[in-house]
Structure 1
Amino acid sequence: MSRRTPPMREALPMLGRIVRRFRPHLRSQRRLLLLGLLALLAEVALRLLEPWPLALVIDALAASAAGGRPPGIGMLLGAGAVLLGVVAARAAASYAMTVMFALAGNRVLTQVRAELYDHLNVLSMRFHQSRRTGDLVTRLTGDVGRLQDAVVTAMLPLAGNLITLVGMVVVVLVMDWQLGLLALLVFPLFALLGRRSTRRIVSVSRRQRRAEGDLASLATESLGSMAVVQSYGLQERLRGRFAAGNSTALRDGVQAKRLSAGLERSTDVLVGAASAIVLVAGAHRVLAGDLSIGELTVFLTYLKTAFRPLRDIAKYTGRISKAAASGERILEVLDQPAEITDSSWARPAPRLHGHVRFDGVRFGYRPGLPVLRGIDLTVPAGQRLAVIGESGAGKSSLAGLLVRLRDPDSGRVLLDGHDLRDLTLDSVRAQIAIVLQESPLFATSIAENIAYGAGREVGEAEIVAAARVAGADGFIRSLPEGYATVLSDRGVGLSGGQRQRIAIARAAIRDAPIIVLDEALAGLDPETEAEVVEALGRLTEGRTTLVITHDMETAADAERVIRLVDGRVVADGSPARVLPGARA
């Protein structure tokens, strides 16, 4: 069932909700916003004053034409000087307003992007596994950028014009309330005209943002799996999917532009009709002696300026609607609760010895579908434990609970007798190092990739020492730029063994009492595997180690082996006792 699409009158409250949500960021820029507001008020006052020198000259010339005394050169020069001064001052105020508001808006939205990125980093694995990476990247970059563009180039100018509108409406009603009411008849007509168009623009904008998010997800997935795409000849199929999504985004974008352009032109016609009516009625009042020619000139000038917000509403409807849709997508992520957080009583963990205990742990990724069913397991400090079992038996779930990527549905996970939920996340994770089957490397230097494991500033000597533990120092130094070599995305260009040894170095520099090896040897050729096994031996010496593996030879090197079947420990003991009969 499709979600009901709100009209513009609901898109604007959405922007109000966004403003309230980001009020702390706005508060940090209150000085700039206050200065911008003062400049805006000055600009409005000067805009109200601008037509009056012209009105005085026109009235003087009209009086002269009727047989009165002609205006002197001093009066004309004075009026010209005043007009020039008002225009120059208004330009300066407008410039200051634009700069102040733009600077404040950009700073606020930069903080919003940082907040969104930080929040994504603390959301649970459950959330990330249910979302497409490309769509999240689009929210972080494209949606924040679109909101930023709308705030700086549409909403702030529109706010200024609305204040100008209020000021000018008050002045024209004071000057001639009958003529003023006649001019104001255009506003309900504009509301009726814009209601249908804005509803459709908001609807199309939401569809367009959704299509762009899907497109980004498809591109991220295919570009990140290029070897599979080319090996299986998926180019044509993926090209078709991308072309379909691209066409959808294009069609929605063109439709939004067409609707916005139609609303703008319709508004121009309305404004022209209102100006014509006021011109005719105003001229009649001038002939009747109720209004001077100069006052009519001021009235028409005000009318033209007062209708500018209507044009801007039509012009910026598309941007504001897209901003509302983008802001809605941003808030949807920010409103997601972080499931794994520090409790109010959590305290930093002391330096751990590495005693691990799973006490009656039950866990499932979905309600009613348990993965671990009452695990009771104790691992003494310094022991090397291999965890074997079929795929889906719950091996990696144990590791995830130990690092507290997830919390058990019931039971406890304890380190040195401390329930993990009683310790702060950072202090626990800082004492656990992980080496995965595919340990991702970042697109930065090898030295920085290794240093990331420390969680603190480290020197070159520590980085080199960690690389030597991993057996990586030799091949790193053989690279043209050594430790300064910048890796491509995910370490493409290095062999599997080289990438794995850099990952081991990253774990080694952490100097953690607990090590988790999750299929760390899978997919390596025998020669490379021997090198990595030797490096892992140096890494795990004297440390509590969980070896999650399908490989019986790897498990045989452990002091103790447990076998999981359907989320339960069905065998526990020495390799000689457990491994016979176990299948990889």
Structure 2
Amino acid sequence: MSENQTPASPASNPASTASTASQPAPNTIGGPQFGGGLAKRGAAVVKPKNMRGTLRRLFDMTAGQRRELIPVFALSGLGAGSAVLSPLLVGLVISTIATGDPITTILMVLAAVYLVDWLVNFSQQYLMAAAGQHIVLHLRVSLFHALEALPLRFFDRHQHGELMSRLTNDVDNISETISDSFADLMVYVFTILGTLACMIWLSVPLTLVSLVPVALVFILAKVITTRTRPLYAKQQQVLGRLDGQVEESVSGLSMVKAYGRERAMIEEFEQANDELCETGTKAQTLSGFLMPLSNAINNFGFLMVAVVSGLMAVHGQADVGVITSFLLYVRQFSRPFTDIANIYNTLQTAVAGAERMFEIMDEPTEPADAPNAIPASNPRGHIVFDHVTFGYDEAHEVIHDISLDIPAGARVAFVGQTGSGKTTMVNLLARFYDVSGGRILLDGHDLRNYKLADLRRAFGTVLQDPSLFESTVAANIAYGKPDATREEIQAAARAAGADGFIGRLEHGYDTVLEGSGAALSQGERQLLTIARALLADAPIAILDEATSSVDTVTEQSIRRAMMRMTAGRTSIVIAHRLSTIRDSDLIVVIDHGHILEQGSHAELMARHGTYARMVADQSV
């Protein structure tokens, strides 16, 4: 709109969430490939505020999609079973060879286990990908519906880029965690439990020895993550600033070039980028110690088990087959713990994204219709502002006790300096905001007593900044009346004076407006929105600075279109160019939320007051 009374409020930077990647580890002998769907080493981890509560809420939200996870859960058990069984079979093969018995049958069973393991892993990944995408589809649709239901007050307080980040990046993080990590996590848990049971069954002393390096890895991970968490938090903050700077640079590139600020913009970018590089290097270098040290501890533990098992074999307490199986189990047992720690980091980032998503879904929506709400199907257009006060926040009142009577069918103009409250009054009329005090009546009924959807359809609106969508010219004109025929669309375009330039486009009315019509001039885009409002044929017309961005010739064309659009209906025009509103039935002069004067052009000029001075200033 032409002015925004919303007080500037600090909006958080777009939170750039960490990506995840699959990082397979080397195959364990006789076991599955561990490491799928782990967080990329060095990826920033965002710690959630309430992990348990958020996970519970995610679980409740996906109740309708849980049935798809049942086969994934079953396959995880089968995959873990094959991983647990294969080392035992390998040991049996060794024992059989040592005794000189035939091994053909055991080898065939082992080969069958490996084949089943491959089929299970393939099927599990396929089903998990499908189930994960269905869950994320539900989450994304729920979030988008929540955004649609929010009042304009919410969008005034948040950057659009930050909201887009929640709808895309945060939900994508949840998607990657569900699709890549959930199935692996189930396999790891089943594998650890099954492997531990087999190890205890084979040898309790060797099991106790093998648990020592596992405990050491846990302690190491705790120490390193404690030191890296603040570094990753700082990395996220710097990355958010960098993303915001890039967004501003791209959206305001023409202004940057106009003022020759390219060098300064590059220097600011390089400074933020260097800070990000330095912070990321420290965090990733420190976190990079975890995997090599874990491997060293695991290898030392493997050596301890090998020595102890060798001594047991020398004293006849274990045969070579048992020792072989146990050593394979030791390798298989220690690896998933590191992978689970990485998955936990990925899960923290996903849950933090879910919290940001739920913050939007928990915002108060637009007020619901009253139980006895009445329809506004064909209003006459008699509007009354009855002692209306309003502020975008409690501390700053923008409209001060305004009373105004607008007869049905009248052409009314609001004039005044920028920030005087003109657009705010229009916002209140369309119930983008509700009044803080007083009331606004339409045909004798408080606006809050109407059904909101009906009330909004009663207004045909043309704003100062034209809003077009990446669709065809015809679809943009028919936005308020999707079932309009091509003849009706063309008639509206001719009435708005847009038919001429539309005919010069490559595909005419079927031309797709890329970049919201960036290839069109400001005046051409405005003419399309005029055509849209004419086609919608709403009972009440609102034109907010509709001619402020066009040349005088186009202004005359728009003015003629405005006269056709406002004929026979209540219309409210906000204008700085006073020449466009001289023929209005009522001109209302607003200043700092107060009505200073009202009357026709002739009456206000005869008073020699504020309006007369404004006209004189524009005539100079």
Normalised by the length of structure 2, the TM-score is: 0.85
**Deviation of 1:13 (Å):** 7.8
**What is the correspondence of 1:51-200 to structure 2 with a 5 Å cutoff?**
51-62=87-98, 64=99, 70-72=100-102, 76-200=103-227
Aligned-pair RMSD on alpha carbons? 2.7
**Deviation of 1:253 (Å):** 4.3
SS state at 2:581 partner: helix
1:429-482 residue CA offsets vs partner (Å, 9 max, x unmatched): 12212111111222322112112232x443323322221221212221122210
1:67 — aligned with what?
Answer: none
- Tell me, in whole angstroms, the C-alpha distance in 2 between the residues paired with 1:472 and 1:575: 30
Kindly indicate whether the alpha-carbon contact (under 8 Å) linking 2:540 and 2:570 is maintained by their aligned counterparts in 1: yes
2:504 — aligned with what?
Answer: 478
Cα gap change, 1:248/1:466 in structure 2, threshold over 3 Å: closer, same or farther?
farther
**What is the correspondence of 1:428-447 to structure 2 with a 5 Å cutoff?**
428-447=455-474
Q: Which is worse superposed, 508-517 or 294-303?
A: 294-303
2:81 — aligned with what?
Answer: 45
- Tell me, in whole angstroms, the C-alpha distance in 2 between the residues paired with 1:273 and 1:343: 71
Q: Which is worse superposed, 303-312 or 36-45?
A: 303-312
SS state at 1:298 partner: helix
- Tell me, in whole angstroms, the C-alpha distance in 2 between the residues paired with 1:559 and 1:271: 87
Cα gap change, 1:201/1:508 in structure 2, threshold over 3 Å: closer, same or farther?
farther
Q: 2:253 aligns with which of 212, 220, 226?
A: 226
**Deviation of 1:536 (Å):** 1.2
* 1:468 pairs with 2:504: no
- Tell me, in whole angstroms, the C-alpha distance in 2 between the residues paired with 1:361 and 1:182: 79
* 1:421 pairs with 2:451: no
**Deviation of 1:190 (Å):** 2.4
Q: Which is worse superposed, 562-571 or 109-118?
A: 109-118
- Tell me, in whole angstroms, the C-alpha distance in 2 between the residues paired with 1:124 and 1:238: 35
Kindly indicate whether the alpha-carbon contact (under 8 Å) linking 1:431 and 1:510 is maintained by their aligned counterparts in 2: no
Q: Which is worse superposed, 355-364 or 115-124?
A: 115-124
1:453 — aligned with what?
Answer: 480
SS state at 1:506 partner: helix
Equivalences, count: 568
**What is the correspondence of 1:556-575 to structure 2 with a 5 Å cutoff?**
556-575=582-601
Kindly indicate whether the alpha-carbon contact (under 8 Å) linking 2:166 and 2:357 is maintained by their aligned counterparts in 1: yes
SS state at 1:366 partner: coil
- Tell me, in whole angstroms, the C-alpha distance in 1 between the residues paired with 2:451 and 2:323: 72
Cα gap change, 1:347/1:34 in structure 2, threshold over 3 Å: closer, same or farther?
farther
- Tell me, in whole angstroms, the C-alpha distance in 2 between the residues paired with 1:114 and 1:212: 28
- Tell me, in whole angstroms, the C-alpha distance in 1 between the residues paired with 2:414 and 2:46: 55
Amino acid at match of 2:242: L
Kindly indicate whether the alpha-carbon contact (under 8 Å) linking 1:374 and 1:568 is maintained by their aligned counterparts in 2: yes
- Tell me, in whole angstroms, the C-alpha distance in 2 between the residues paired with 1:459 and 1:216: 44
Residue identity (%): 33
2:527 — aligned with what?
Answer: 501
SS state at 2:433 partner: coil
1:314-353 residue CA offsets vs partner (Å, 9 max, x unmatched): 5446544543443443334333333555456656533322
Kindly indicate whether the alpha-carbon contact (under 8 Å) linking 2:213 and 2:301 is maintained by their aligned counterparts in 1: yes
**Deviation of 1:303 (Å):** 1.9
1:5 — aligned with what?
Answer: none
Q: Which is worse superposed, 213-222 or 165-174?
A: 213-222
1:258-309 residue CA offsets vs partner (Å, 9 max, x unmatched): 3443222222122222222222222223333333322222222222112122
Kindly indicate whether the alpha-carbon contact (under 8 Å) linking 1:275 and 1:304 is maintained by their aligned counterparts in 2: yes
SS state at 1:233 partner: coil
1:359-393 residue CA offsets vs partner (Å, 9 max, x unmatched): 22211122221000112222222211111122221
Q: 1:400 aligns with which of 420, 423, 427?
A: 427
SS state at 2:289 partner: helix
Kindly indicate whether the alpha-carbon contact (under 8 Å) linking 2:460 and 2:542 is maintained by their aligned counterparts in 1: yes
Q: 1:34 aligns with which of 50, 70, 74?
A: 70
Cα gap change, 1:12/1:486 in structure 2, threshold over 3 Å: closer, same or farther?
closer
- Tell me, in whole angstroms, the C-alpha distance in 2 between the residues paired with 1:246 and 1:134: 20
- Tell me, in whole angstroms, the C-alpha distance in 2 between the residues paired with 1:341 and 1:243: 49
Kindly indicate whether the alpha-carbon contact (under 8 Å) linking 1:362 and 1:372 is maintained by their aligned counterparts in 2: yes
* 1:309 pairs with 2:336: yes
- Tell me, in whole angstroms, the C-alpha distance in 1 between the residues paired with 2:487 and 2:337: 66
Kindly indicate whether the alpha-carbon contact (under 8 Å) linking 1:201 and 1:321 is maintained by their aligned counterparts in 2: no
* 1:289 pairs with 2:316: yes
- Tell me, in whole angstroms, the C-alpha distance in 1 between the residues paired with 2:525 and 2:184: 52
- Tell me, in whole angstroms, the C-alpha distance in 1 between the residues paired with 2:375 and 2:279: 51
Amino acid at match of 1:480: E
Cα gap change, 1:12/1:364 in structure 2, threshold over 3 Å: closer, same or farther?
closer
Amino acid at match of 2:592: D
**Deviation of 1:415 (Å):** 2.4
**Deviation of 1:213 (Å):** 3.6
Amino acid at match of 1:177: V
Kindly indicate whether the alpha-carbon contact (under 8 Å) linking 1:403 and 1:429 is maintained by their aligned counterparts in 2: yes
* 1:323 pairs with 2:353: no
Kindly indicate whether the alpha-carbon contact (under 8 Å) linking 1:55 and 1:297 is maintained by their aligned counterparts in 2: yes
1:544 — aligned with what?
Answer: 570
- Tell me, in whole angstroms, the C-alpha distance in 2 between the residues paired with 1:348 and 1:282: 84
- Tell me, in whole angstroms, the C-alpha distance in 2 between the residues paired with 1:477 and 1:460: 14
Runs of at least 5 residues in structure 2 that lack an aligned partner in the other structure: 1-11, 13-43, 615-620
**Deviation of 1:83 (Å):** 0.4
1:511 — aligned with what?
Answer: 537
Amino acid at match of 1:41: G
SS state at 1:571 partner: strand
